[in-house]
Amino acid sequence: MDRVISNTALSPTSLVVLCVVIAIAVTWLRSSNSNQPPRLQDKIPYITNTIQYLTDAGRFIDRVKEKLEKANSDIVRFNVGFIPAYVVRGPDNVRKLFNSPNTLDGNFLQLLLMDKHWGMHHHEIAKFANDKTGRGKAPAPGTETVPESERYWLGHDRLYVNYLANRQNSDALADVFHRTFLQQLNSLSEEWSTINLFETLKTLMATSAITSLFGTRIFDLNPDLINVYWQFDDIAGHLVWGLPKFLQRRSVATKDRLHSMTLKYVNSAWENFDWDSSESESPWDPHFGSRLCRETAKWFRENNFSNHAAAGHAVGALFGLNGNTIPITTWIMMHAIQDPVLFEALRKEALSVYEDDPLTGERHVNTQKLINLPLMQSVYVEAMRVHVSFNVTRQASQPLAIGGYAIEKGALVQACSKIAHFEESTWGVEGHPASEFWAWRHIKSVASVDSATGKAVHQDQFAMKGRPSSFFPYGAGYVMCPGRFFAKQEILLAVAILVANFDIEFEQWIKEDGSDSDRPAQDDGRYAAFIAMHPDREMVIRCRRSKDIAKRG
């Protein structure tokens, strides 16, 4: 009998193969009995698409777009491993994705970030995972008895509402960024000099932005912070959606190194900040930085989270702070430097919002006027439209229907900005297809009568070409980037300061290794699906400080 058992027993490898075969068969039988949308071809079922989805999102999205067009469909199905997944397009489908929090859960992605980026301990992640009360002021039905102290999603969201979306605190951040960026630019020569545009902004803008949000002490503790951050930025997307950790040891080590730096910052701030001083109510201090960071650290401690968790949150904030703003600023400048008409138009607008400081007499940018200028807003939206690749992702918490198709519980449902942002019917303008960058796409000329002269005049006004369901570079619905307002201020401040204070000439394009390139920069597909895409070529420029151009009254 023992011999019979021995001969019929399955080896571990055979057992794994059998389980996989059974799982595939069950999944196939389940899917074959229901109404299914067009399926993306998978050469090796459950494997080929999964690998490309995790390692080459740019090409994967291109294939999805091709399938949608070929099948004349607004939804396509594929699998990520054994998890069913769908990409949807079209205003109605996208709106349903954004506005159905009871059936399509957006929290799962943040829980994933807490694990993959923040490095939080599992028992701390569980506090958020077990909070089913929602993010609204009133708890979700059936959770009314949960104490306020255990409503972690709401408490976390309130930090951003109170200390970032708030006009006073947002303006304080912009003011620190403005002053620091001007100081950083003093490192550039007054006379003509040659620099690499993206490389320079990655240092000067990141230093200014991090100072505004995290203070100056973080740099004293971590002199190599900027370099390590950009190493993390390169692998952040793959770290979340990519291969298992044991196959990404170098990426995990980079994340851990950045986390150790933010942990130093958190520990030092708690040790050195005087909570009994007037600084406890100030908008900025050198230890914590912004009031947002100070109150966030306080909230984590009051809710029994570790400094390790607070440091992980800081890693996420660093990525949110720099991952979009610096590439997008670079893209705007690249487009402007190649188009002298656009450069001069941006300069004219920027100079129109320079004002004299009543205390110092120095000229500075009025940020609120700046962010409402028509061309500045148009070029900002256009750069975000063309160069951000972000997949808004939800997970079905119960069965539902989208576009007439049944979506099973547990399925992933996504809308891709690289599809929605390029729909010709939404964004196309005669002579300027949706596939190209056009700075004036979101401007309309409005006729009025001059009250003094009685003559007809035309004035440019900002008017975004698309709808919210067609434009979502920061996410959408109840899960959106909370720093999007400050990001807009930072990007436009940087652009305004650069075009107003510097004469700039294009010199050449170079590759990552420094060799000459025979073409301009394109979007680097390595950043697809997660963030603003970096230019895959560097722009070498000649620049000099404009002689007092931003100081003229």
State residue 35's pLDDT score: 78
**What burial class does residue 510 get, using C-beta atoms within 10 Å of its C-beta: 0-12 exposed, 13-18 middle, 19+ buried?**
middle
Quick one: pLDDT at residue 552? 52
pLDDT at 290 exceeding the cut of 50:
yes
Averaged pLDDT, 305-312: 98
Judged against a pLDDT cut of 50, whether residue 3 lies above it is answered with: no
Q: pLDDT at position 167, please?
A: 84
At residue 10, does pLDDT exceed 70? Answer: no
What's the pLDDT score for residue 50? Answer: 95
Of the given ranges (18-32, 450-464, 467-481), which has the lowest mean pLDDT?
A: 18-32
Fold entry, domain 164-545: Cytochrome p450 (1.10.630)
CA distance 110 to 115: 9
Selection from 528, 546, 502, 478 nearest residue 102 by Cα: 478
CA dihedral 52, 55, 56, 60 (to 10 degrees): 30
Within 13 Å of residue 125, how many CA atoms lie on the same side as its CB?
17
77 in Cβ contact with 38 (< 8 Å): yes
* pLDDT 10s digits, 62-107: 999 999 999 999 999 999 999 999 999 999 999 999 999 989 999 9
At 549 the pLDDT is 59
Q: How high is the pLDDT of residue 316? A: 97
Q: Which residue has the higher pLDDT, 19 or 420?
A: 420
416 is in an annotated binding site: no
Q: Name the nearest CA neighbour of 102 among 392, 391, 398.
A: 398
Task: Report the C-alpha gap between 108 and 104 in whole angstroms.
Answer: 10
Q: What is the pLDDT of residue 195?
A: 98
Cα–Cα nearest to 411, from 90, 88, 122, 115: 88
* Cβ neighbours around 169 below 10 Å, total: 20
Residue-range domain boundaries for the chain = 164-545
Distance from C-alpha of 317 to C-alpha of 312, rounded to nearest angstrom: 9
Cα–Cα distances in Å, from 370 out to 386, 488, 495? 22, 10, 10
Token pair recorded at residue 74: 């607004």
* DSSP string for 198-220: HHHHHHHHHHHHHHHHH-SHHHH
Q: Which residues contact 118 (CB under 8 A, 6 or more apart)?
A: 309, 312, 313, 315, 316
Reference 201, options 226, 225, 219; nearest CA is 226
Residue 400 burial (CB count, 10 A): 18
- Taking alpha carbons only, the member of 221, 240, 194, 283 closest to residue 506 is 194
The confidence score (pLDDT) of residue 410 equals 97
Segment 464-474 shows an average pLDDT of 92
Which DSSP category does 224 fall into? T
For the stretch 404-438, pLDDT in tens is 999 999 999 999 999 999 999 999 999 999 999 99
Quick one: 320 exposed, middle or buried, by C-beta within 10 A (0-12, 13-18, 19+)?
buried
Mean pLDDT score of the chain:
92
Structure tokens at 11: 């080896």
Question: What does the pLDDT read at residue 30?
Answer: 46
Closest by alpha carbon to 438, among 450, 427, 454? 427
Query: pLDDT per residue over 39-72, tens digit each?
Result: 999 999 999 999 999 999 999 999 999 999 999 9
Cβ proximity of 532 and 388 under 8 Å: yes
- CA-CA distance, 310 to 304, in Å (whole number)? 11
Dump the DSSP string for 89-145.
-SHHHHHHHHT-TTTEE-HHHHHHHHHHTS---HHHHHHHHT--S-SSSSPPTT-TT
Q: How far is residue 131's CA from residue 155's CA, in Å, rounded to a whole number?
A: 11
pLDDT band of residue 550 (cuts 50, 70, 90) is: low
- Backbone φ and ψ for 130, nearest 5 degrees, come out as -85, -5
| DSSP secondary structure letter of residue 278 | G
Asked if the model's pLDDT at residue 332 lies above 60, the reply is yes
Beta carbons of 68 and 419 less than 8 angstroms apart: yes
Whole-number pLDDT of residue 553: 46
Return phi, psi of residue 105, to 5°.
Answer: -90, 125
Poorest-pLDDT segment among 19-33, 141-155, 323-337: 19-33
User: Could you count the other beta carbons within 10 Å of the beta carbon of residue 424?
Assistant: 10
pLDDT of 7 reads 42
Top pLDDT among 361 and 333 is at 333
| Residue 155 pLDDT exceeds 90 | yes
Minimal CA–CA distance to 195: which of 545, 546, 541? Answer: 541
Phi, psi angles (nearest 5°) of residue 393: -125, 130
Alpha carbon 344 to chain centroid, angstroms: 29
CA 223-190-228 angle, 5° bins: 20
Q: Mean pLDDT over residues 366-380, rounded? A: 97
Q: pLDDT by residue (tens digit) across 227-275?
A: 999 999 999 998 988 778 888 999 999 999 999 999 999 999 999 999 9
Kindly tell me if the per-residue pLDDT of 525 is higher than 50.
Answer: yes
Asked if 541 and 197 count as a contact pair (C-beta separation under 8 A), the reply is yes
What pLDDT shows up at residue 29?
A: 45
253/453 Cα distance (integer angstroms) = 68
- Residue 29 Cα distances to 22, 32, 402, 462, angstroms: 10, 5, 21, 52
- Residues ≥6 apart with Cβ < 8 Å to 284: 172, 173, 176, 212, 215, 290, 291
Give the pLDDT score at 465.
87
19 C-beta neighbours (distance < 10 Å), count: 10
Q: How far is CA 547 from the centre of its chain?
A: 36
Q: Indicate the pLDDT class of residue 16, thresholds 50, 70 and 90.
A: very low
